[in-house]
Structure 1
Amino acid sequence: MPSTGPSATTAPNARTDTLVLPRLAPAPEPERWTPMGFRPDVQGLRAVAVGLVLLSHAGFPRSEGGYVGVDVFFVLSGFLITSLLVKEVFDTGTISIAGFYARRARRILPAAAVVTAATALGAWMCFPVTRLDAVLQDALAVVVYIVNYRFVAEQTEYLNADQMPSPFQQFWSLAVEEQFYVVWPLLLLVLLLCVRRDPRRLVTAAITASLLVFAATLALSVAVTAQSQPTAYYAAHTRAWELAGGALLALVLPALQKTPRALAWVLGIGGLAAILLSGFMFTDETAFPGYAALAPVLGTMAVIAAGSGPGRNPASTLLSTGPFQFVGRISYSLYLWHWPILILAPLALGVDPSLRLNLVLLAATVGVAQLSYTYIEEPVRNRRSLKRTGAGLLLGLSASVACAAAVLALVYVFPKTPDGTEPVDLTQIEPVQEYSALEQRLLDGLAVTAVPADLVPSLTGADGDRPETYADGCHLDFEVVALPSGCSYGDTASDVEVMLVGDSHAAQWFPALDALADRNGWELVSRTKSSCTPVSVRVDSTMHEGEYTECWDWKQEVFAEIDAVRPELVVYGASDKTGVTGLEGEAAAEAWGEGWAQTIERSASAQHIAVLTDTPWATGEAAPECLSLHMDAVDRCVSEDPYAVTYVDRREAGRAAQEAAGAQVVDTEQWFCLDGRCPLVVEGMAVYRDGHHVSTPYAASLAVLLGEALPNLQ
């Protein structure tokens, strides 16, 4: 997020009505602190930061790492805010917390509130109904500055991985900064009290505190990045070290002002190079933030240090030029507006995003940002009547309340999402009795042009349409290894035991197997775990860097249970898309086949083994989102965003190994597609609940066909 610190030319407001420290002793005469003054190089760094972010979000080639622009902003914000707080201590002998938040409110909230309200309205008008409720909840989280942790919760949820991005995604960094600002001024105030309001001693204590925050939260960042990269990316406790790095520079500014010219040259050029190389060399696969974030953070610190010394250096000179100053000046509004424009404009225009379109939209965003800066940021920040502490706080509160009211009005006064989020009653689903009837259903499904009004599950209910094993705690999350109890269904007293084993692509078949268990008098035991293939290979984690060790350990638990129980039938299901640790292409396919052979051999205690082949995946937009955007053009979704079988090489290698090992292979593709075309609506049922999972009613409708394809247990 662009640095939200006020211009260094604006001194803190030292009024008598601000909150000050209690006078425990006569205040020492404040000492002098050399003011920083306006820094063109800092303004230019804002331009570099926002430029990297915009290029990345537009999809510009080799700019995936443009997310490092946010790290630049964090350092700048820590530097500017701390500079002003320290100057206030030297000028007044205290820190006005109320004054600090009033200045923050004037600087941040008016533009943020306008963007939030406009984005909420745009989403209400254009966004797919499947995501609208969640997006409006994002808007409310923005208002109270906790949206970053909401994104942590959303993006660590495996089943949300293929959802459309929120148009409020850019606000996460603003939330991180505000959370830091809640703590940092208070910490400085406590330190000031501890050093008996001695400004020089405060600086020394604050340097120590900055170093401790830097070291501790950097260590957290590294550790959490290895365990859960989405958490490390969005959380304040893994990003605070970046703001602390900027704060440290502000605290040692007098020393930096003596930086030798030769050293400034090295620091400026090297720091700017580190930022740019990070932006153009890092990718989505980079383990970030963690250690990798040190490059843009230390690079930014180096450029700031270089610009603090006497004289000029090439980096600071470049950053001080007109184009950098212009973009830096509007960087806050530019950052706020660019993302919702990139997300919502293609939906409004009914076109697919492209690099060409995104570049046009970014050019338009510059104009919008200039208007926002001229008519919102500047008037509010400079209006004399709003510079009083009480007026600033009231302005911030009023902006937040008005914005929240606007969002709530869209939710409750003008609701757009229909009812229909209740679970589907699967007992009302009539199973198809023979394959010829299913073929006719698929053929009719390919002719569907409009989404049925009584679609099950409804588009708004698709996200919550999951087998009951999820709610029962029988489908395990990533970190859980121990097998839960109480995961038996059907006739739990039966002598015929069937086990369903695999990842979520096995769990999606639970509704059909549950119906078969009730009909045939089986005991059905569910053993499924998110993103954990039953294939005996080491696999990559989708939640953190490196191997998914919990998956391997869980599989050993399941194999041991199979040996102990000796079930009549084990039904395996798996996604073919799981990453094999350290292998790609042909090597991964070969390991996949060998892994299946080992899994089936390891399950030899079961009387029968069946393997359900993977179901089709979306090659474009997930079915619920596409259908909600094309309610009267379902055929467009089928042709432009088709579902298809993926990773054919692994599928074939696995099938050969399964058949060679004596397992019964059930080819599921024929239940979803005709001649390579896969309908999305069949007999009033949505076939998929997301980009790669079958809906519960459609799975239940296949119970009879699945039963005929499985080994005979009579």
Structure 2
Amino acid sequence: MSDTLLLPRVTAGASAPRPRWDGMGFRPDVQGLRAIAVGLVLASHAGLPHTAGGYVGVDVFFVLSGFLITSLLVKEVFDTGRISIAGFYARRARRILPAASAVTVATAAGAWLFFPVTRLDAVLQDALAVIAYYVNYRFVAEQSEYLNADQMPSPFQQFWSLAVEEQFYVVWPLLLLALLLCVRRSPRRLVAAGIVFSAAIVAATLALSVLVTAQSQATAYYAAHTRAWELAAGAFLALILPQLKRLPQALAWLLGIGGLAAILASGLLYTETTPFPGYAALAPVLGTMAVIAAGSPPGRNPVSGLLGTGPFQFFGKISYSLYLWHWPVLVLAPLALDVEPTLRLNLVLLVATVGIAQLSYAWIEEPARNWKPLKTSSTAGIAAGLACALLSAALVLTLVHVFPKAERDGAGGAIAPVAASDLTAALQAGLETDTVPADIAPPLADIADDMPVVYPDGCHLEYEQTDLPDGCVYGDPDADTLVVLAGDSHAAQWFPALEALAEREGWKLLDRTKSSCTSALVHVGSTRTDGEYTECWEWKQHVADEIDELKPDLVVYGSTDNYGIIGADDPAQAWADGWTATLDRTTAAAAHTAVLTDTPWATGEAAPDCLALHQDDASRCLDENPYALNHLEFREAGRAAQEATDAQVIDTEPWFCIDDRCPLIVDGIAVYRDKHHISTPYSLYLTDVLGAALPDLS
């Protein structure tokens, strides 16, 4: 049988027969590629050495999805002359939604049982986003948000790729249908037009992926518009399948070996620091395309033969369920067992997940896909998919609203500031705290939203913003005494105390803070791209110019010491020089200048999460996840430079630690809101302590 399009012989008086498309049938090599893809992902998530790049398994899945879906759609056009959108969505609903809904429900219930209340609301919102298939863009927003960077991973994290595929499935059949109408329902013309169209999508969205990866890697990683080229690459292969079937055997051998090598090499050589997807995604994508092409002609090649063996077929068969179940098992099981995750534990859990996936395949995937009432009616298939989604959403909403996990009363009334003379005793008592107070401030369930008012007011700037915001004046706007707070988020954490002082003392307080942007005049790297954080440099020039113009009575600087310096042979010296330049300029313009040293950082889990998990054993968090001074080389270099200027350097360590031990709860207050920011109530608690340390403005 020919591998090209077959045009049946036309007999006299007969209507023109429909062109024929052989399609691809069952491909053991494609099934085996699924096993490679899921194996890479599982190895990476388990923490196996040298497999950090296992995330490329998702790229393999994307190419396979584009190839398989387009193959089925094109065959349908050749067989029937049309594309049934309802039929397509019904098949996708039967294939995807039952298992996905089961995992969603089980994960939501597991999170409700075992996740800390500090993250539970966000996780259940992730579940709703999963059900609505926009969770990838929710993760874009979360990963782009600086204050979310150190949070526990969501047990729904794996669903982002499924959301990308579903978004592709919504659009791609409609585009093919539009093309079919444009070519007057000619299947052969549809293939020709589809080849050009898919190639254009690959080119355009690959370029977009490269551009966005350089600007915001989180967006490029999770977004559909930067991943579409990978699915379109698979679609392109499906459209040229007849040509692939005529590949010479020698070329098929080379493509198979080279393609598999490219997939495995990227999985083994890429790391968390690899700019991805962008150009780096070409290796796994082209590798997958090469392996698919190699398996298309008749005959066997070494790679297709390997992928067709039993183990690859078994894991390929259950790959969908295995991918869905493995991540919530890895995230939730250590919480349920109250143990730290380790490589050994993760491997044991993955073995257990294989059994769960096999059961899921046998009892959920296959029955839903093959149940006759759903197969024979598109309406029934779509209705079943909607029912799965609605039932899942109903359960999640029930957990949120009917069975809330934690009360949110917290400490009533205002925070009473501690006197400087009483702070040491309060810290010592904090070290001896064994249980989390029922009225802890802020409530642990709400601590993720505990941010100084300058954040919701838009006065604390995010990454892309560089212009000085209007307003941002607090305290007494008409006062003659002007105080400026400047720096990064470690300056903004002191805003509550400074605002309380400004209101009490009659100061005019101006906020000039920006995320991850130190006031030291030094070029720093971006936390979003591999290059310089140019928006920070531009911003602090504006702030310095404003201070020169306003000549404030006091400028208060705060900054973390955790920065990557750009273009410096000696980063610590560059850090010191940057502070010298900033403070020399500021002290010439302002009557007084003060610098607050950095606050402690977590050496392990964030305090709120740990306290939420161990409310009756808070001392465990103090012992296992202590906070301490960090980035000491920069801290010492910066402090030496600061003390050499006319600025007043205020050492904040005694406000947090005694004998190198830093309590997590002081006087019923949670000291930290995450791994390295203090809570708003604790900032207010230190109002008088800060006021006594600042220069006298009377």
TM-score by structure 2 length? 0.96
The 8 Å contact of residues 148 and 171 in structure 1, kept in 2 or not, is answered as yes
Aligned residue number for residue 517 of structure 2: 532
Matched, 1:617 2:601: yes
| CA drift at 1:417 | 3.0
Structure 1 outlier segments of 4+, above 3 Å: 26-29
- Residues 1:61 and 2:45 aligned together: no
Q: Distance in 1 between matches of 2:188 and 2:444?
A: 62
Task: Select the residue among 105, 108, 126 that pairs with 1:120.
Answer: 108
What displacement does 1:523 show? 1.1
Q: How many residue pairs are counted as aligned between the two chains?
A: 683
Whether the aligned pair in 2 keeps the contact of 1:64 and 1:280 (CA below 8 Å) is yes
Note the 1:110-509 alignment, pairs <5 A: 110-388=98-376, 389-420=378-409, 428-434=414-420, 436-509=421-494
Q: Is this contact kept in 2: 1:79–1:249, CA < 8 A?
A: yes
Distance (whole Å) between structure 2 residues aligned to residue 274 and residue 618 of structure 1: 39
Residue of structure 2 in register with 1:19 after alignment: none
Task: Note the aligned Cα RMSD (angstroms).
Answer: 1.4
Which secondary structure does the structure 2 equivalent of 1:133 belong to?
helix
- Secondary structure of the residue aligned to 2:483 is strand
Please report how far the alpha carbon of residue 602 of structure 1 lies from its aligned counterpart in structure 2 after TM superposition: 2.5
Mapped to 2, the partners of 1:608 and 1:469 lie a distance apart of 23
2: CA distance, partners of 1:549 / 1:344: 40
2:677 counterpart of 1:688: no
* CA deviation after TM superposition for structure 1 residue 536, in Å: 1.2
CA–CA separation in structure 2 for the residues paired with 1:250 and 1:630: 54
Contact 2:201/2:229 (<8 A) preserved:
yes
Partner amino acid for 1:457? Answer: P
SS in 2 for 1:71: helix
Note if contact 2:584-2:646 (Cα within 8 Å) is conserved in structure 1. no
Q: Of residues 595, 610, 613 in structure 2, which corresponds to 1:629?
A: 613
Q: TM-score, normalised by structure 1?
A: 0.94
1:599 aligns with 2:582: yes
Match of 1:676 among 660, 678, 687: 660
| 1:84 shift after superposition | 0.4
Residue pair 1:512, 1:702 contacting (<8 A) in 2 also: yes
**Residues 124 and 132 of structure 1 are in contact (CA less than 8 Å); yes or no, is this contact kept in structure 2?**
yes
State the one-letter code of the partner of 2:415: I
Q: SS at 2:661's partner residue?
A: coil
| 2:71 pairs with 1:87 | no
3-state SS of 1:609 partner? strand
CA deviation vs aligned residue, 1:589-629 (integer Å, no higher than 9, x gap): 12111111111122221122111000001111111111100
User: What whole-Å deviation, never above 9, does each CA across 1:27-71 have from its counterpart, x for those lacking one?
Assistant: 964201112111111111100000000010011111111000000
Aligned with 1:168: secondary structure?
A: coil
* In 1: Cα distance, 2:186 partner to 2:409 partner: 63
Task: List per-residue Cα deviations over 1:72-117 (Å, max 9, x = no partner).
Answer: 0000000000000000000010010000001001100111111100
Which residue matches 1:579?
Answer: 564
* Residue identity matched to 1:178: E
Distance 1:461 1:87, change over 3 A: same
Structure 2 counterpart of 1:385, one-letter code: P
Do 2:522 and 2:575's aligned partners in 1 also have CA atoms closer than 8 Å? yes
Q: Structure 2 vs 1, CA of residues 329 and 583 (structure 1 numbering), >3 Å: closer, same or farther?
A: farther
Q: Distance in 1 between matches of 2:657 and 2:77?
A: 71
SS at match of 1:533: coil
The separation in 1 between residues aligned to 2:393 and 2:592, in whole angstroms, is 58
2:7 is matched with which residue? none
Identify if the C-alpha distance between structure 1 residues 27 and 557 changes in structure 2 by more than 3 Å, giving closer, same or farther: farther
Alignment deviations for residues 353-382 of structure 1 (CA, whole Å, 9 cap, x no partner): 111100000000001001111111112212
Instruction: Quote the offset at 1:155 in angstroms.
Output: 1.0
**Which residue identity does 2:669 align to in structure 1?**
M
Change (3 A) 1:631 1:27: farther
* 8 A Cα contact 2:409 2:439, kept in partner: no
Q: Is the 8 A contact 1:420 1:461 kept in 2?
A: no
Alignment-mate amino acid for residue 183 of structure 1: V
Measure the CA separation in 1 of the matches of 2:433 and 2:406.
23
Return the letter of the residue paired with 2:483: V
- Measured at CA, do residues 90 and 631 of structure 1 come closer, stay the same or move farther in structure 2, by a change above 3 Å? same
Task: Tell me: CA distance 1:624–1:583, structure 2 relative to 1, closer, same or farther (3 Å).
Answer: farther
Q: Of 688, 691, 696, which residue of structure 2 is paired with 1:704?
A: 688
Query: Aligned partners of 1:348, 1:255: CA distance in 2, in Å?
Result: 53
8 Å CA contact 1:106–1:392 kept in 2: the answer is yes
Instruction: Indicate which of 498, 508, 511 corresponds to 1:523.
Output: 508
Moved more, 699-708 or 288-297: 699-708
Selected match of 1:97 from 73, 81, 85: 85
1:626-673: CA deviation from partner (whole Å, max 9, x where unpaired): 110000111000110011111001000000000112211100111001
SS of the residue corresponding to residue 597 of structure 1 reads helix
Worse overlay, 274-283 or 536-545: 536-545
The one-letter code matched in structure 2 to 1:34 is D
Alpha-carbon contact 1:501-1:527 (below 8 Å) kept: yes
- Return 58-67 or 313-322, whichever deviates more: 313-322
Q: State the Cα distance separating 1:199 from its structure 2 match.
A: 0.3
8 Å contact kept, 1:64–1:282: yes
Task: Give the superposition deviation at 1:488.
Answer: 1.2
Aligned residues of 2:104 and 2:127 also touching (Cα < 8 A): yes
Question: Residue 563 of structure 1: CA displacement?
Answer: 0.6
Once residues 214 and 177 of structure 2 are traced to their aligned partners in structure 1, the CA distance between those partners, rounded to angstroms, is 35
Structure 2: how far apart are the matches of 1:458 and 1:483? 33
Deviations 1:519-570 (A, max 9, x none): 2221111100011111111111112331111000000000000110111111
1:160-181 CA distance string (max 9 Å, x none): 1111111000001000000001
Residue identity matched to 2:524: V
Structure 2: gaps of 5 or more residues: 1-13
User: Aligned partners of 2:241, 2:537: CA distance in 1, in Å?
Assistant: 52
* CA contact 2:77–2:187 (8 Å) conserved in 1: yes
Pair 1:97–1:28, CA change in 2 (3 A): farther
- The one-letter amino acid paired with 1:694 is I
Which amino acid letter does the alignment assign opposite residue 541 of structure 1?
S
Residue 54 of structure 1 aligns to which amino acid in structure 2?
L
Cα deviation for residue 412 of structure 1 reads 1.8
Letter in 2 for 1:526: D
Which residue in 2 is equivalent to 1:656?
A: 640
Counterpart in the other structure of 2:8: none
* Equivalent position SS for 1:469: coil
Match of 2:608, as an amino acid? P
Percent sequence identity is 69
Q: CA separation in 1, counterparts of 2:104 and 2:177?
A: 32
Deviates more, 1:612-621 or 1:485-494: 485-494
Q: Which amino acid aligns with 1:413?
A: V
Q: Deviations 1:295-341 (Å, cap 9, x if unpaired)?
A: 10011001101111222211111111111111111000000000000
The one-character-per-residue Cα deviations of 1:486-533 (angstroms, maximum 9, x if unpaired) are: 111112222221110000000000111111112222111110001111
Measure how far apart 1:408 and its partner are.
1.4
Letter in 1 for 2:381: G
Question: Equivalents in 2 of 1:35, 1:98: separation in Å?
Answer: 21
The one-letter code matched in structure 1 to 2:520 is V
